[in-house]
Every structure is written in structure tokens, then in C-alpha cells.
Amino acid sequence: MSEDQEAQDDELLALASIYDEEEFRRAETGREGEIHLCLKLPPDFKLLVNGEKCMEYEVSFLPPLILSFELPTDYPSSSAPVFMLSSKWLSRLQLTALCKRLDELWEENQGSVVLFTWIQFLKEEALDFLGLHSPLEILSRGGGGELGGASAGLPHPVKRGEGAGGDKRRPTEADPRAVLEVDPRADLLPQLLDFDEAQRQKVFDSRLFCCSICFLEKLGSSCMLFKECQHVYCKACMKEYFEIQIRDGKVQCLNCPEPKCTSVATPSQVKLLVGEDEFARYDRLLLQLSLDLMADVVYCPRNTCCAPVMLEPDATMGLCPSCRYAFCTLCKRAYHGLSHCLPTVDELQSLQEEYVSGSEEEKRFLEQRYGKQVIHRAVEESFSRKWLEENCKNCPRCGTHIQKTQGCNKMTCTSCRQHFCWICLAPLSRVNPYSHFNNPNMPCFNQLFLGVGEEDELWSDEDE
């Protein structure tokens, strides 16, 4: 085996031991390969979107540069590796500048293996070499996102042109080895954010976390992260917690279990943990809760329907789109046109309290809904009922309201002439009604004149 072949084998073997299969891919036959290089971003690196609205997005990862290579037979003694450099988010002019820098590094290290040197440069120095710093500007055009600055719609390649091969001029022609992987007219921002989210999840899945509920350490792939507060719990505990809340109908309470924390789980997180039936119930209750908060939405009053109905502004008629039932939005009965709503017995009982304690606006609404006469009659009846409850008792035989103004506790109903005890409302004998008060075994013994003033002691209903 020649020295070149031996050096190539050693270099490829070393790269395979340093990088995993996602980063370094070597062809099964021949001396070709592909290296995916995620550039090292500084902390709090941001993308700045300029368009109708200026917005910032913090990212930790950008899509990788891809270095495809083929090793000639006389590498590294004479020839450099044949390579192509491609990216989704750098312009061809920027990639051209990087290609020229790789050529320079080969010239500096000719006769030695150079792939690892290229990789280190691209991963750790490429951003500084191109003059790209946070925030990285993105222009939004027609709903799409482009990295802004150059005429190609991407960042200016190299502001300090002397870094590229000693030439103080920027590259003006694209190197054929520089390849742009996406259509420059494509919406770039979602691709960058999606890649960043996927890489963050990958890092999270590989870390160990202690669940604050069961206090067991588990990999992130078995845990759930609340994105707002960054609290982490294992999926088993959160699954049980979510299912209990959904079963109890508390879909608005699927928040972080940490005390006083207001972070809420997203529907996608809930769907990944609970079963199909539980998620269907969660989805239905969440929709119903949202509709309940909308002032222009009511439900069809028919028990067999209950479909949501959108209302026109200031309208009192609702028309169910499902069963075509026309109803009054105030009383929920069949639509009655301009006629006032007819209150039920239960509504009449509470109408007086609602009217008396209401504001002027609430009183006007009740008068428009039921009519002034109905309101005033309800108020009068309520006051009468209250007075009767406080001052009268009912005859044990016919139920007539009886008021006691004076005299002893033996009463006679003015309607059915039944004798009864005012204290315990027990019916009394017509022959000897006073025996009830003279019998030691009765609870009202010697209480004929209980509660009677001195001036009334000689009075009884018979005297009246």
C-alpha cells in the first residue's frame, strides 16, 4: 500500500471515530464522503426579520454546511481533495469565499491531510470569516424570508475581503463548487426555525432530567418540557395528570404542576400523551370553552341538537344552522317576534330580587324583555309573598293564610272554621279545643297565652 493510500485510510478512520453517522458519511466503496457541519453559534444568537413588521427570533442552530469530497490517488502528497460546498442559507458568493479559503488552507498544509483542518475552520470560524453576527438580518418579501443584503437576496459575503486568499476584493463570480441547495425565492425563515426546533429537541432528548413529581431521573425523550417556563416532568406523570383533568372536564387547567406557574400545555403536547378518546373529549371541551367566551355565540336550546349558533349584532332571534330551529336568544323558547318574553314560575320568583338590586341599565333590559307591567306585578307579588311569610301562618287543613293580631293561641280558620294551635299548627278538637293546652302530655301544655300581652290575656278568637 502506498503512503498516500495509508494516509487517506488513517484520515477517514479518524473522522469516522470523531463524528457520528449523521455528521460524517463515507461511501461504501471508493474514497468519497460527505460531512454535515453545523456552525457553532454564539449564545443568544438572533434572526432579525425585516418586512412589514420587524421581529426577532432566537436560534441555537442553523442548517449545516455540506462538504462533499473525493480523494484523488495522489492525495495528500500532490493533489488536494476534490470538493463541493453547499448550504440552504448562505449565498453562492459567500460559499465561493469559503471555497477560496479552503484552497488557501490546502496550500498552507500541502503534503499533509487537510480534511480535519477544513472541518474545524468551517465549524468554528466561518461566521467570523464572512462577517456574519447576531442579529442575522432576514428580509421578508411577499410573505417569504430571505437572508438580506446582497444582490442575490442573501447576506453580504465578506465585508473584510482580505480574509479570502489575500484578495481585498469580494468575490464577484460564483465558484462552480459553491452550491445553493434551495430556490432563492423560497420562504427561508420557516426552514431555519423548523431546523432549530428539531435540533433543540434532539439535544433535549439526549439529556437526563429529574421529574419533580416522581423524583426519578429519565432521559429527555421520556420527558415533557413546558416551553414557557422550561419546567420538565416525565411523560408518565403528565399523562396521568392530563387524563384526570380531562376526565373532570378541566381542560383549561392543563398547566404546569409547579405551584403558581401559569404555563399551559399545547394541544400537540396533550395529543402525544393521552389516548384518542381522551384527546377527542379535550378537543371538544376546549372548543366549547372558546365558544362560551364569545359574546356572539349561543347554543341551540333543543336538547337533541345544542349546536353553536352565530348571532347578528343586536338581534334577539337565533337560527340554528343544524336543525333550523328559530328561537329567542333571551328566553331560549320559540321565537315570538316583538312580543315580550313570558317568564316561567321560577323566573318570576327571582325577577323581583334581580330587578330591585339591578342597575338602571339592568332594569331597562328586564323591562324591555318582559314588559313593565309584568315586572311591576312580579315585584308586588314578591313583596306580598314576603309579607305573608313573615306575618302569617297556613291553616293545617285548607292552607289559608292566617294572621294573628291578638288573643290566645287557639285559632279558628276564617275559611274552613278549623280550630288549630298557633304555636305548633296542630288541629284542635271542635268539642273541647282547649284540652290541647291543658294536657300535660302535649308540647303546648299551659301555653294558651304564650306571647300574649297583659291587655290581651282575656281575649280569645271565640270572643272575637
Q: Which residues belong to the active site? A: 408
Annotate 371-426 with DSSP letters as a single string.
-HHHHHHHHHHHHHHHHHHHHEEE-TTT--EEE--SS-SEEE-TTT--EEETTT--
Per DSSP, the three-state class of 57 is strand
Instruction: Of 449, 418, 453, 448, give the one whose Cα is nearest residue 435.
Output: 448
Instruction: Of 170, 167, 97, give the one whose Cα is nearest residue 127.
Output: 97
**Buried b or exposed e, range 262-286, using 16+ CB within 10 angstroms:** eebbeeebbeebbeeebbebbeeeb
Q: Which three cell numbers stand for residue 277?
A: 378518546
Q: Which three cell numbers stand for residue 331?
A: 328566553
Helices (H), 32-140: 92-108, 115-124, 126-130
**Buried b or exposed e, range 84-117, using 16+ CB within 10 angstroms:** bbbbbbbbbbbbbbbbbbbbebbeeeeeebbbee
Q: Which amino acid is at 95?
A: L
Angle, CA 51 vertex, CA 40 and CA 48 arms, to 5°: 20
Q: Which three cell numbers stand for residue 274?
A: 393521552
**Length of the chain (residues):** 464
